[in-house]
Amino acid sequence: MATSERVPRKRLSDRVADQLEALIVAGDFPVGTKLPAEPDLAARFEVGRSSMREAVRTLEAAGYLRSTHGSGVYVTSDRSSRVGPLDLTLAGGYTMSDLFEVRIAIETTTAELAARRLTDHHDELLQSILVSAGDPETTQDEFVRLDGRFHRQVAEASGNPLLLLVWDSFAAQHEEYSLKVIGMPGRRERAHADHVAIAEAIAARDPERAGRLAGEHVRTVQRELKSGSPQAKGPSAQDVR
C-alpha cells in the first residue's frame, strides 16, 4: 500500500477498514461470505497482520463482519449497523444482553468484596494492569486482553474462588464482546477511565462506591449500544440504583 503522504500509525488500520468496507458494499464480499484468512487479507492489502486485525475489528463494531471462534470471519451486512450490536450473538449462542446482566451481577459483587478484602499483592497487580492499559502504544487487541485481566483480577481479589470460577466461565464471551465494541469512538478511553475509578474505590476500601462504579461501567456501554452513539457521561454513581 504505497503512499506519498505520511500517515500516522493509528490511521493505517482505519484506511484498510475503509477499503475493505468499500469492497463489501460493492459486493466483492457478499453477505454470508467467509473472508480469506488473516495472513491472506493482510497480503492483499499490503499491511501487517496487526493492522489487518484492527481493521476487521472496526468493521465488526460497525456491523459488517462477525467472527466465529474456530471458523472464521463472515460478512453479515453490506451496510453499517452500528445501532445493532446488542442483537449480535456471542459464543455459545448467548447475546450481549445476557452478558450485560451477568456482568452487572457478578462485577458489582466482586468489586464490593475486593474493596473489603484487598491485599497489597492484588492492589499491585491491578495497578500494573492499569499502567499497561494506559500506555498509548498498547494495541487494541492487547487492551482487550488487559481489560479481561483487570476484571478477572478484581474477581480474584474478592477472595471468593466460586466468583472467580463464574468469571472464568464467561471470559470468552467477554473478550468476544470487547473486540466487537472496542472500535467505537472513545470506548477505549472511557473503559480505561472506568477501570481506574473502580480500582481507586477498591484501594480506598470503599465497597459501596466500588460496587456502584462497577455496575455503571457495564451500564454505560449498554446505553451507548442501545442509542447507537457514545456518551461521555452517564448518570453519576450516586444515581445508579
Within a 10 A sphere around the Cβ of 57, how many other Cβ atoms?
24
Of 180, 23, 28, the closest CA to residue 90 belongs to 180
| Cα dihedral across residues 143, 73, 1, 21: positive or negative | negative
* Cell 503522504 sits on residue: 5
pLDDT for 124: 97
Contact in structure between 152 and 182 (CB atoms under 8 Å) = no
Give the global pTM.
0.62
- pLDDT beneath 70: ranges in the chain: 1-11, 79-89, 227-241
pLDDT for 228: 55
pLDDT digits (tens, 9 = 90+) for 171-211: 999 998 898 888 777 889 999 999 999 999 999 999 999 99
C-alpha–C-alpha distance, residues 132 and 86, integer Å:
29
Give bridge partners of residue 68 from the DSSP assignment: 72
